[in-house]
């Protein structure tokens, strides 16, 4: 699949990333996929994970590939202050050198987008007259999609073109999608 994409899109395939509604660390062989991707394209795709502690050895292998090839900074989505402390306990400053920590917990200064499950929770709370409990979530973030391009789901054999749009009744996930 990566080879075909490389033939079709040329060097643009180097801008690929490996996450979208799933966590790369759910695949115990994810580091092998990254290595194969590098062998085909000459670049590592960006990895964003909210589960760097799920399998620290796998995470270290992924970080080791960055250290070896130095192509794209990885990102850890940090979901709470406790999670941040656990990340700093598990990984040394040197190991985190190629990692951008994306702070997304309640204490963070960035808000999550009001799409998907957050949007569903908001509607439930609104129905229960608890609007005030979720007001802090509503800032200027309108979508979880931060890219435009092809979304490839190898497991389902599906290819879609996606682009960010504001979350709405029509596009509750913050990007156009089908079925």
Confidence class for position 136, pLDDT limits 50, 70, 90: very low
Distance in angstroms (rounded) separating the CA atoms of residues 137 and 3: 41
Mean pLDDT, the chain, rounded, equals: 82
54 and 75: one domain? yes
Q: 13-17, 114-118, 132-136: which has the highest mean pLDDT?
A: 13-17
Distance in angstroms (rounded) separating the CA atoms of residues 148 and 57: 32
97 and 122: one domain? no
80 and 118: one domain? no
Distance in angstroms (rounded) separating the CA atoms of residues 135 and 19: 28
118 and 106: one domain? no
If one counts the domains in the chain, the total is: 2
Helix axes 30-41, 56-69, angle to 10 degrees: 20
Which residue range(s) make up the domain with 63?
1-110
């Amino acid at each position: 699949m990566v080879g075909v994409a490389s033939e079709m899109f040329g060097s643009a395939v180097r801008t690929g990333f490996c996450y979208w509604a799933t966590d790369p660390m759910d695949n115990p062989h994810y580091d092998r996929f990254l290595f194969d991707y590098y062998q085909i394209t000459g670049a590592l795709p960006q990895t964003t994970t909210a589960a760097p502690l799920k399998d620290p050895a796998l995470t270290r292998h992924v970080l080791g590939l960055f250290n070896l090839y130095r192509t794209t900074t990885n990102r850890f989505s940090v979901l709470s202050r406790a999670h941040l402390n656990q990340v700093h306990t598990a990984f040394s400053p040197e190991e985190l050198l190629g990692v951008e920590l994306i702070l997304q917990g309640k204490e963070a200064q960035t808000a999550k987008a009001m799409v998907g499950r957050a949007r569903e929770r908001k509607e439930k709370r609104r129905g229960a007259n608890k609007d005030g409990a979720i007001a802090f979530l509503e800032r200027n973030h309108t979508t979880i999609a931060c890219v435009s391009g092809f979304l490839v789901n190898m497991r389902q054999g599906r290819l879609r073109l996606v682009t960010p749009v504001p979350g709405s009744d029509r596009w509750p996930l913050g990007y156009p999608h089908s079925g």
